[in-house]
Amino acid sequence: MDIQEYNDQPGLGGHTVTFDLHEADKLHLLHPGQVIAYRGPAHHRTDRLMNMKGIYRKRKLLQANFTGPCRVTASLPPAIGLKRIEFAGGSDLLYDFRHLFFYTEGIRMENRILSMKNMMITRDAVKVKFSGQGQIGILTQGQVIELPLHPEEPLYVEAGRVLAYPEHAKLELSVYGNHLASQHMRYQWKITGQGSVLVQSGGPGSGELVRDLQAEDGIVKRFLREVIPFGGVFIK
């Protein structure tokens, strides 16, 4: 299967992703409403109900299954990207099922029930672990980077930016820095362990820098917003 992304006019809208399926290729698309064009035999698309776990976690009823040869074009809205990941065996990374856009035949999914502590940190009860032979596509906000972990030296990552982390990593909800820094920053995941984490540049608070650059507030209001605890919430 060949995949191409098109975004010739950044900033004017979303972009498109085209899947060229060869003979015997199979594609499972979890957001069938994003399909905007199709070329191939009509019976090579079969939609079906997700299982109850998928319906609950994806908040959607249907998924679309395509068999090659055919071409499928899907659209992605502005600010949403697609991270393609190839599997040739196992991986210890845990993902949020809500971010899954597609997977190919040969991919296996295993649910991992989190510990009570990690449920409180991640605000999720179950993560998904992928293995097998094939590809998955993860919906992202902004650029995706891979950051290595260390068994003892913690990595602090803003909680809303983490896409995937190792199954056996140690997670703590934390802040860091001096009193003023910790008072104003968003909650961080303090992570130690082996392997690496996938982090997206977009997420909660991404528009804050734009608002700051466009702000025309007076110096007093800006000073109070920064100095007073939760001033950014109460002082508009």
**Residues 134 and 168 reside in one and the same domain:** no
**Residues 220 and 146 reside in one and the same domain:** yes
Q: Which residue, of 141, 164, 180, is where some domain finishes? A: 141
- 3-state SS, 71-106, equals EEEEEECCCCEEEEEEEEEEEEEEECHHHEEEEECC
* pLDDT (0 to 100) of residue 119: 79
* pLDDT (0 to 100) of residue 142: 84
- pLDDT tens per residue, range 180-193: 888 878 889 999 99
Residues 6 or more apart whose Cβ sits within 8 Å of residue 115: none
* pLDDT (0 to 100) of residue 163: 93
* pLDDT (0 to 100) of residue 218: 54
* pLDDT (0 to 100) of residue 124: 79
**Residues 114 and 149 reside in one and the same domain:** no
**Residues 129 and 213 reside in one and the same domain:** no
**Residues 65 and 133 reside in one and the same domain:** yes
Q: Which residue, of 141, 164, 192, is where some domain finishes? A: 141
Structural domain span for residue 206: 142-228
* pLDDT (0 to 100) of residue 113: 85
- For residue 233, tell me if it sits in a domain: no
Report residues of the chain scoring pLDDT below 70: 8-13, 52-59, 203-236
- Using a 10 angstrom Cβ sphere, with 0-12 exposed, 13-18 middle and 19 or more buried, the burial of residue 171 is buried
pTM beyond 0.85, yes or no: no
Q: Total domain count for the chain?
A: 2
